[in-house]
Amino acid sequence: MSERKYHNEFVDYVTDLLDQFATIAVRPMFGGFGIYKNGLMFALIADNELYFKADENAAQFFETYGSTPFTYDNGKKLVKMSYWKVVPDVFDNQEMIKIWIDIAYNVAVKNKQKTKPPRAKA
């Protein structure tokens, strides 16, 4: 069960929902929240919306449900991130939210394997 540190109803709702399927940690970041499983960020909350991490294949899958990517304006241009919005139909379907969690976590694992620096020799 995740620890409740934040007084935000949506964050609490998401934490309760995701806790049914995985032990998660929630940390504040850049005005939103990062959601972690086994130390890997696989989701984020921004503006009271939940987004799951995606690669190209996951993005295509999420898009079939009407999902859109997380974007922000950096002052010069609109930046599209590799996180996709969880749509209401998915929130309301226990089986589907579990599938989305698994997909997002697997993307996070794959990305970590790609970017993991070599261990320093002692």
pLDDT single digits (tens) 55-104: 999 999 999 999 999 998 888 998 899 999 999 999 889 999 999 999 99
Q: What is the pLDDT of residues 33-55, one digit of tens each?
A: 999 999 999 999 999 999 999 99
- Domain 9-115 in CATH: superfamily? YgaC/TfoX-N like chaperone (3.30.1460.30)
Q: How far apart are alpha carbons 63 and 3 in whole angstroms?
A: 32
| DSSP H or E stretch at residue 29 | strand 25-29
pLDDT score for 6 = 59
Burial (0-12, 13-18, 19+ Cβ within 10 Å), 68: middle
Let me know the angle formed at the C-alpha of 114 by 110 and 118, rounded to the nearest 5 degrees.
130
User: Model pTM?
Assistant: 0.84
Under the banding of pLDDT at 50, 70 and 90, the label for residue 8 is: confident
Task: Please check whether residue 47 is in contact with residue 31, taking contact to mean a CB–CB distance below 8 angstroms.
Answer: no
